[in-house]
Structure 1
Amino acid sequence: MPTIRLIAPSGYPHDAQAMQRGVKRLRAAGCTVEGLAVLERQEGRFAGADAERAADLAALAEPPAPDIALAIRGGYGATRLLERLDLSALGRRLAEVGTLLVGHSDFTALQLALYARSGLVTYAGPMLGADFGAQTPSPFTWTHFWATISQPEVALAWPTRADTPPVRTEGTLWGGNLAMLCSLLGTDYFPRIDGGLLFVEDVGEPPYRVERLLYQLHLSGVLRRQRALLIGRFSNCRPTPYDAGYDLDAVIGQLRRICGVPVVEGLPFGHEADKFTLPFGTPAWLVVEDGTARLGFAGHPRLASPWRPEPVGIVAARC
């Protein structure tokens, strides 16, 4: 049975009921859940002082190591911790003990920094509150999470635009929240990844701001060094009246014209219920043909013993 330690590097747990539902579901599935003290902390908009949140992450390098370190939520705050952490030492230790770091959204800052400083492969995936603690949790997300961190090889597929040109390529899988990616551009915490498969998502950004962020990746040279760009979910991405209908489709159309690499839409990842769990930093392959995208990877860190708990619908019914 895996041990899950909760970490709160960003925002405070504003939805206490969702957090408790998540804990109950994981325990009902047979997991040991520790680190519950982070669910009681708040300092301003953060889940505790910077020193407290950084200490939680540093403690992951101390025995006994958990199998999984799971972010409780995103928000903002992880960037404030980067200068407080010995990221090289933390990454080496986590790789040695096999602890899997999992989260998304603001968590992308830690993933970028750990990979840049130590090459640590982490997971872009579900979090405690919004995913495992949802009123109606997603069986899709639950199943893909446990399968991905248990299996030595993973193959994923999703429908994409029928007019997407055929793609057959491979590279390092990486990415995450678009705003967080751009926020660390030009810093020592942004890894240089050439020949990558870059995935992006975001929430609450109107289309023109999504385009501005993508242009930042384009003009900085990041996009042209990739083998493909995978477009995840852009939730609540609504044009304003001033936009005169300039929507996300228009943004993606412009991106296709300028970036010079394949753009593949529809990746189930982002601030929505159904999401894949994706390793950040592992070799992967991508094939797109006839309106279907297929992504596979192997060699990613995983649980020492495969763990496939009961489906989330059954677990949720027992909470």
Structure 2
Amino acid sequence: MPLPRPLAPTGRVAVVAPASAPLDPADAHAGLSVLRERGLRVETADPAGGPAAYLAGTDDARVAALNAALARDDLDALVCVRGGYGVLRILDRVDYAAARAHPKLVVGYSDVTALHLALWKEAGLPGVSGPMVASDWGVGLDAETEADFWRVVGGDAGYDVRGPGGEALTPLAPGEAEGVLLGGNLALVTALLGTPFLPDLTGAILFVEDVGEAPYRIDGMLARLRLAGVLGRLGGLVFGMFTGADVAPGRPTFSVDEVLAHYAPSVGGPVASGLVYGHVPRKSTLPVGVRARLTCGAEARLHVLDPVAA
């Protein structure tokens, strides 16, 4: 299918809420203001009826608003207001035919991981794992994080992924692999196991991060991916940030780094850690569904080969 159009600072975007509502509405208003100040023509596609408990709206309302936005030709991108929870509830009702017929960038991370992977699996639509309206734009992006976002949505390619401060990756297992770059939140990747919406990850370069998960929980999710045969089929694996993984003092635990190192040999290809990506203020924006190359030797490099938009 054709690639989505690049998103320029003068593009037209709709803000969608397929998961949870903003924790603080003021952050959403601030984020909308920042995007408009950058020159974007921004409109909101709020679910009818308003929030429902921990959801931005009922399943019917959220999927209706999302599908209506996916079907439009006059939008360059959909930017999610935040993650939270809720995308899993509507994946079987997303209009993938509309997404395929009217390709556009979908921007978000965290719970939006499930939508990115499903859109790639069902429609061949690549996406952008990047800053969201309330969670990021509304609380402030540093200049380097914002510049990286515009580079990716603008259709850049042929570059090494480095952190906003130039942070390099750390090699955990040697090798070189080229494949489709897929991933996002580890809990959501794991949650898609056994569903029709997890892409075939054979040969893929998978990137993962998470927040608020203790080391034993991260261990358990990686164990599930190993037991399901996913880790062994990967071309390569890149670990991002695992924030909020603290364990109460005095409790026996492995460190997160020890857990990640334990599963690196299960991949059988290059594995790296230290990707500045996840639930942190400063982070890299990553394309989802484009070819990339991961090389791990004395150093580790993740090189994006193809653009996410053209």
What does 1:1-319 align with in structure 2 at a 5 Å threshold? 1-35=10-44, 37=46, 41-87=50-96, 89-95=97-103, 99-134=104-139, 136-155=140-159, 156-157=161-162, 158-161=167-170, 164-241=172-249, 243-302=251-310
Question: Which protein has the bigger helix share?
Answer: 1
Contact 1:13 1:39 in 2 (8 A): no
Distance 2:83 2:48 in 1: 13
Structure 2 regions of 5+ residues with no counterpart?
A: 1-9
Structure 1 regions of 5+ residues with no counterpart?
A: 303-319
1:125-158 CA distances to partner (integer Å, 9 max, x unpaired)? Answer: 1111111111x42222211110111134241234
For residue 281 of structure 2, give the secondary structure of its aligned residue in structure 1: coil
- Give the aligned residue type for 1:13: P
1:25-66 CA distances to partner (integer Å, 9 max, x unpaired)? Answer: 111111111016459921111111111110111112433431
TM-score of the aligned structures, taking structure 2 as reference length: 0.89
- CA shift at 1:282, angstroms? 1.0
Contact 1:102 1:126 in 2 (8 A): yes
TM-score of the aligned structures, taking structure 1 as reference length: 0.87
**Closer, same or farther in 2 for the Cα pair 1:259/1:165, shift >3 Å?**
closer
**Closer, same or farther in 2 for the Cα pair 1:36/1:113, shift >3 Å?**
closer
**Closer, same or farther in 2 for the Cα pair 1:115/1:63, shift >3 Å?**
closer
**Closer, same or farther in 2 for the Cα pair 1:16/1:117, shift >3 Å?**
same
1:148-200 CA distances to partner (integer Å, 9 max, x unpaired)? Answer: 11134241234233x64554321110001110111110111111121110000
1:197-241 CA distances to partner (integer Å, 9 max, x unpaired)? Answer: 000001000001001001111110111111111000111111344
For residue 201 of structure 1, give the secondary structure of its aligned residue in structure 2: strand
Contact 2:215 2:253 in 1 (8 A): no
Percent of paired sites with the same residue: 35
Alignment: residue pair count: 296
For residue 21 of structure 1, give the secondary structure of its aligned residue in structure 2: helix
Across the aligned residues of Structure 1 and Structure 2, the Cα RMSD in angstroms comes to 2.0
